[in-house]
Structure 1
Amino acid sequence: MALQAGAQRETSFPSPKPPSSPIPMSSTTSQSPPPECTFRAQLTVFGAFLALFCTFGQFNAFGTFQTWYAAHQLHHLSPSTIAWIGSLQLWVFFFSGGFIGRVFDAFGPFWLLTTGSVILVASIILTSVATQYYQLILAQGILFGLGVGLLFYPSLISVSTHFNKYRATALGLAAAGSSAGGVVYPIMLQQLFKSVGFGWAVRISALLSALCCITAILTISCGPSYNPCKSSDPSKVIGMWASARIAFSDIRFTLLAIGSCIAALGLFIPYFYILDFVNATSPELALSPTTAFYLIAALNAGGIPGRIAPAYLADVIGRFNLLVPAAFFSGVAVLSMWLVQKVPALIIAFAVLYGFSSGAFVALINPCVAQISEKGCVGSRIGLLYTVIAFPSLIGNPAAGALLSRQHGSFTGLVAFSGSTVIVGSLVILAARFAVDKRICTRV
């Protein structure tokens, strides 16, 4: 009964009124499904799952590339320098969110998804033939990040337009694609690197990504009741400052953005450096290089239930009520579990648990933004949040690499930086949970 009461508090829909007269026996007894159960809505979730599988899933697998580059093409460069490739991916992806969200609110998802698919596949093919650092920066860093942004934002925003009561659940199912891709791509690439070489391994991943992108384009659509925001007139797509000013006048959105920025400084560090940690301590951990590669897969495997189960529970007890614990536990796991590993089973357990908690954090941010946003402005708000997150995401991983180099290979400073920033970010988001927004009365 308590869960049912929580679900009623979370939902802004009034209880349906009983029909004034019974349905005649001669008429059909089947009722039209509610908007959240339509076939188009389910297809959109499926398409978004595939879009995130081939985009953010490859983001999550960058640790595989980081380790490969350090041993092959870029062996003469430091880990911090190599990490700039992945950080540029994140920065371009996050920074493009504001503009992409505005375009989505004005035009919808189709052209964004089509353009993003072409850019994404082209960037992967160019990465397969790149041999120099600047080439990888351009192809895998900048171009790939842009392609991911053009696919990621329209996919999740489209899902949010089909759902209200079960919005977090639907977004969690879609976001699970990123973790599923993070499991498949490291294993696939690690095997292909050995069997067909780097170039053909990456080109095969481009083919897989193309198939996913085409399916996403054909299945993703906006909800029937989604109306563009007044500030999203197609003639004013470039004018984002007024929209940003309105968004940041909402104290809850402002605190959510600040907390997310702080957390983003350290949230992705384990995805980038866990393999380097294992390789540096391999005599103690007794993990073979082949087994170490699977840690990235374990990290992302934990993110699959982490994106689905908490999202479903969030629709019952509140989205913010789970976002804060997910972020806080992620930081605690880093500080308490990463450096105390003595046996391989413990580092694998850390990877799975961190994947679960960080996956829950990533999956719950979007429904929280959608919940405190006016209808028709969801795309702009989600995109604006990710644009703000772009800057800490750019400097977080290279800063961790710099700490690693300065401490001569010791991971203590890197781990402390990662865990503490995520914890502080969760506390700021907790303040957003209790903030009062006089303009939008939405329960959390």
Structure 2
Amino acid sequence: MSSPSVDTEKSLAPPGPPPTFVEGGLKGYLTVFGAFFALFAAFGQSMAFGSFQLWYSQNQLVNYTASDISWIGSVQLWVFFISGGVIGRLFDAHGPTLLLASGTIILTFSLMMTSLATKYYEFILAQGVVFGIGFGLLFFPSMSATATHFMKYRATALGVAVAGSSVGGVVFPIMLQQLFNNVGFGWAVRISAFVCLACGAIATVTVSSRFPKRKPGPWVDVASLKDANYAIFVLGSAITCLGIFVPMYYIVQYAEGYHASQSLAFGVLSVMNAGSVFGRIVPSIVADQIGRYNTLIPSTALMGIFTLALWYHAHNIGTIMAYSVFYGFFSGSWFALQTSCIAQISKMEKIGVRMGMAYSLVSFAALVGEPIAGAILTRDNGSYTGMMVFTGVSLLLGSLVTLAVKLRINSSLLARV
């Protein structure tokens, strides 16, 4: 049994950086700054899909079920996740700049097309497929580039960068709710597209990688798949992804079911994402002190516990708001720590491809999670009980599988991992 005092992270971390490595530096801090804006635009828009879910159910797609509408967001997430393997390889070969520029153009185009869409398949193509491609081109290079500039404070740096997604998740639902009512759906989405264009431009000129451009490795890194720690971690992430997006997609609709006004229902999603801002920063700082896995695992478990213990009994707007804050906080921690946990069990030059592969592999869970939840909701004639149980159990099981990785690294529960 290993002693809890052993610094497991140091003994098991990948080989140290070259002697010229500088923690952060001007380019590193500019990269965090640019990554924040990239994720504000891409992930922030994605996290606001609950606003679109409610709007579509009452307007353009009023004749479609909740499960049908959720497929738009699920396709978006699937394309985003599965693009990671390809984009990670392109990042290794070409660096972040061209990818970010392409992502900015594609994301903006997707929103412009969404603003013109009227039919279900048009929303699937524009807000699902095309948005997912732009999302991936902004997200993966930003996160991979940030990881190359930091070692000691990698989780903190990634947490600050990924906090941009939560800030976007606060801003976009409020902005869209106001614009939907004041200027109509089309111009509301077009205005949000211009915001994303500006954010993407900032990211393109500020994000850089510490590594020079290099010949990419194989499309599938078989050695990584044979690494048990990496494979188990990806499995745990996939199980978690079955449930993690469900509250974000359905909390607005759930709140309105308890007689919340449209503005208040949209506000519930903003509150959830506001909690996520702190969840992406504070646990990341803690993780650099007590261990990244030691922070990720309880955060995942607490998402499940609060879903089963609080959302299950949330029958008034105050309780719904309280659940939104707690869930937002701990889900933010999960999103913030994924890259640093992958990096901790990877060689530094493989961070890009390993992160991309991981997201590609979990993409299928992200694709089916929300439609499964929607199908349960339809089967139960609008009762959210089954959906809540599905979400909570997925999150708890995901935390247990990830715990297996920590115990493989060091069998002591108290070890810093």
TM-score by length of 1: 0.88
Equivalent in the alignment of 2:386 = 413
Tell me which amino acid in the other structure corresponds to 2:42: T
TM-score by length of 2: 0.93
Equivalent in the alignment of 1:396 = 369
- Cα distance, 1:233 vs. partner? 2.5
2:165 matches 1:193? no
Tell me which amino acid in the other structure corresponds to 1:74: L
Secondary structure at 2:62's aligned position in 1?
coil
8 Å CA contact 1:10, 1:318 repeated in 2: no
- Cα distance, 1:316 vs. partner? 0.7
Tell me which amino acid in the other structure corresponds to 1:240: W
- Aligned ranges 1:289-438 → 2 under 5 Å: 289-436=262-409
- Cα distance, 1:278 vs. partner? 1.7
Secondary structure at 2:347's aligned position in 1?
coil
In structure 2, the CA distance between the partners of 1:8 and 1:395, relative to structure 1 (3 Å rule), is: closer
2:23 matches 1:36? yes
8 Å CA contact 1:10, 1:316 repeated in 2: no
8 Å CA contact 1:124, 1:202 repeated in 2: yes
Alignment deviations for residues 377-426 of structure 1 (CA, whole Å, 9 cap, x no partner): 10000000000110010000000000000011111100000010010010
8 Å CA contact 1:53, 1:181 repeated in 2: yes
Equivalent in the alignment of 2:161 = 174
Equivalent in the alignment of 1:114 = 101
Equivalent in the alignment of 2:229 = 252
Paired with 1:339 and 1:426, the residues of 2 have a C-alpha distance of 20
Secondary structure at 1:36's aligned position in 2?
coil
- Cα distance, 1:434 vs. partner? 1.4
Paired with 2:119 and 2:14, the residues of 1 have a C-alpha distance of 56
- Cα distance, 1:111 vs. partner? 1.1
Paired with 2:84 and 2:166, the residues of 1 have a C-alpha distance of 20
Paired with 2:407 and 2:93, the residues of 1 have a C-alpha distance of 32
Which of 237, 249, 254 is 1:277 aligned to? 254
2:133 matches 1:146? yes
Equivalent in the alignment of 2:189 = 202
8 Å CA contact 2:258, 2:317 repeated in 1: no
Alignment deviations for residues 275-306 of structure 1 (CA, whole Å, 9 cap, x no partner): 12122232xxxx22221110110010000010
Paired with 1:175 and 1:6, the residues of 2 have a C-alpha distance of 27
Paired with 2:6 and 2:325, the residues of 1 have a C-alpha distance of 32
8 Å CA contact 1:189, 1:202 repeated in 2: yes
8 Å CA contact 1:6, 1:316 repeated in 2: no
Tell me which amino acid in the other structure corresponds to 2:219: M
Which blocks of at least 5 consecutive residues in structure 1 are unaligned? 16-32
Paired with 2:316 and 2:64, the residues of 1 have a C-alpha distance of 30
Paired with 2:201 and 2:15, the residues of 1 have a C-alpha distance of 39
- Cα distance, 1:343 vs. partner? 3.0
Paired with 1:60 and 1:48, the residues of 2 have a C-alpha distance of 17
8 Å CA contact 2:35, 2:207 repeated in 1: yes
Paired with 1:227 and 1:328, the residues of 2 have a C-alpha distance of 39
Alignment deviations for residues 168-224 of structure 1 (CA, whole Å, 9 cap, x no partner): 00000000000000000000000011110000011100110000000100000012x
Moved segments of 4+, more than 3 Å: 4-15
In structure 2, the CA distance between the partners of 1:312 and 1:214, relative to structure 1 (3 Å rule), is: same
- Cα distance, 1:34 vs. partner? 7.0
Secondary structure at 2:28's aligned position in 1?
helix
8 Å CA contact 2:8, 2:416 repeated in 1: no
Tell me which amino acid in the other structure corresponds to 1:336: A
2:246 matches 1:266? no
- Cα distance, 1:339 vs. partner? 2.2
Equivalent in the alignment of 1:26 = none
8 Å CA contact 1:10, 1:317 repeated in 2: no
Tell me which amino acid in the other structure corresponds to 2:39: L
In structure 2, the CA distance between the partners of 1:227 and 1:369, relative to structure 1 (3 Å rule), is: farther
- Cα distance, 1:342 vs. partner? 3.4
Paired with 2:309 and 2:15, the residues of 1 have a C-alpha distance of 45
Secondary structure at 1:435's aligned position in 2?
helix
Paired with 1:34 and 1:8, the residues of 2 have a C-alpha distance of 19
Equivalent in the alignment of 2:71 = 84
Equivalent in the alignment of 1:51 = 38
8 Å CA contact 2:163, 2:280 repeated in 1: yes
8 Å CA contact 1:7, 1:317 repeated in 2: no
- Cα distance, 1:103 vs. partner? 1.0
Aligned sequence identity (%): 47
- Cα distance, 1:11 vs. partner? 9.8
Secondary structure at 2:348's aligned position in 1?
coil
Paired with 1:363 and 1:79, the residues of 2 have a C-alpha distance of 29
After TM superposition, the structure 1 stretch with the greater mean CA deviation from structure 2, 393-402 or 333-342, is 333-342
In structure 2, the CA distance between the partners of 1:10 and 1:63, relative to structure 1 (3 Å rule), is: farther
